[in-house]
Structures are given as C-alpha cells and as structure tokens.
Amino acid sequence: MASVDIVIPVYNEEHVLADSVGTLRKFLAQGFPHQYRIVVADNASTDGTLAVAQRLAKKQTDVASLHIPQKGRGRALRAAWLTSPADILSYMDVDLSTDLAAFPPLIEAIASEGYDVAIGSRLARGADIRRSLRREAISRGYNVMIKGLFLTRFSDAQCGFKAVSRRAVQELVPLIENNEWFFDTELLILAEKARYPIKEIPVRWLEDPDTRVNVPKTVWEDVRGLLRLRLKRPWRGLQRVA
C-alpha cells in the first residue's frame, strides 16, 4: 500500500472548497486502497478560502491546509510536493472538472505498474470532454506546438489531474523555473527527456464556466516557456535513476 498526497491548489475558492473536498473524501472512502491525505494549498487568497481550508483540516484528520503567500499553481505544487513524505504526489483542480473515476487508475499506474508520471488526458483516445470550441482549438494547437518543438509523445500537457512518484518529484521539480500554469508542461517535458515513463489516462472532463484561468495571459506565458525550454534545454545530462 502506497501513501498518496492529493494536492488541491486554490485561489479565492471559498464558495466551492468545502463541497469539493467533501465530494473527494466521499469518493475515496468507497474503497480507495491506499493511505491518503488531501492537502489544500492556498495561494494568497483574498477571500475566506484559507479559513475554510483550516477549518476542514481541523475537523478532518485526512485533510491538511498549506498556505503559500504568493499566487501561482506551480508555486503551490512545488511547496506541497517537495515537503511531502508521501510515496506518490498528485493534484487535481478544485472544480473537479475531471471525473474522479480516473483517479484510482492514475495512482495505480505509479503504485503497481512501474510508471513515474501519470496524467489525465482530454485528448487521448477514449476521453469524453465537454468544452467550448475556442478552448478546444487552443488546447489542441498548444499540444501540437509542444510535439513539434520537443518531439514529445504525451497528448495533453495541461489537464489539472496528475500524479508523480516521489523520486521523480525530487529530481525534476527543483529544475522547473515556472511557478504558474506552465509548471505542468515544464514538468512533463523534463520527465520525458529524462526518460521517466509517462502513462496517459483518458478522462471524462467538463469545462467549468467559473474558471480562474486568464486564457490570453496563460497562452502568452506558455509560448514564452516553450521558447525558453527550447533554447536552454535544461534536461541535458538528466537521466532517470533506475
């Protein structure tokens, strides 16, 4: 049995946090076979999110609260993952847009199948997604760009539903420069270049109309990140430890 941390990065999510954690806890209680902890990582929220997280952590022994005084999803994951003693580090978006049925296969890929990275994919065969045509076009175009620049094999860099082995986290996360949305893409490119095996899990995904993502800003951040990685090639000399 592995130990699993499930990180939920949050920024101004006071209105949905308690319900989302409750839904996740109920799902995990229905036979999830590993020891787990839900870590709510608050990113400098200006509403009552931190208070909600702390109240949940005080009430439930399987919930922990972490406060990061600066915004950025990557910054939250870096802080939560690098300080965790768990065997498997995972995260999911607070809106639970990805159907939780994909979570056990995500974890088993690392716990029992020999993978170091497992990702939910909205673009893999068998995925079922509901989102706007604009978001669909941007996502597909972005992932085509990644494949063209880096000859990668994974299909969906940005789905907020991932799990990583502790050894991969310890080696790869310190090399990641981005602390925001590009963190995911940088992690996956480094992982593949370092020959860490990556498993893709097709997911059922429903777009959240209340998303906090600023699409134009995120697209520009992603493009700059890809060009930086292309020029610097930080994976040179990096090799997976057997």
- Give tens-digit pLDDT for 42-67: 999 999 999 999 999 999 999 999 99
pLDDT band at 13 (very low <50, low <70, confident <90, very high): very high
Does the pLDDT of residue 212 top 60, yes or no? no
Burial of 216 (0-12, 13-18, 19+ CB in 10 A): exposed
For residue 61 the two structure tokens come to 């022994």
Q: Please, are residues 111 and 88 in contact by the beta-carbon 8 Å criterion?
A: yes
110-159 pLDDT, tens digit per residue, is 999 999 999 999 988 888 888 777 777 887 888 899 999 999 999 999 89
Our CA dihedral for 149, 153, 154, 157, rounded to 10 degrees, sits at: 0
Q: So what's the pLDDT on residue 129?
A: 81
Burial of 135 (0-12, 13-18, 19+ CB in 10 A): middle
Tokens 């939780």 appear where? 100
Please give the Cα distance from 135 to 159 (Å, whole number).
12
Q: So what's the pLDDT on residue 180?
A: 94
Spell out the domain ranges in the chain.
3-232
Q: So what's the pLDDT on residue 215?
A: 67
Please give the Cα distance from 138 to 101 (Å, whole number).
26
59-90 pLDDT, tens digit per residue, is 999 999 999 999 999 999 999 999 999 999 99
Domain 3-232 belongs in CATH node 3.90.550.10: yes
Give me the sign of the Cα torsion angle 184, 186, 187, 193: positive
The CA distances from residue 216 to 85, 213, 225, in Å, are 36, 9, 14
Percent of the chain exceeding pLDDT 70 equals 94
pLDDT band at 214 (very low <50, low <70, confident <90, very high): low
Please give the Cα distance from 78 to 207 (Å, whole number).
25
Tell me the whole-structure pTM to 2 decimals. 0.92
158-193 pLDDT, tens digit per residue, is 899 999 999 999 999 999 999 999 999 999 999 999
pLDDT band at 239 (very low <50, low <70, confident <90, very high): low
Q: Please, are residues 93 and 206 in contact by the beta-carbon 8 Å criterion?
A: no
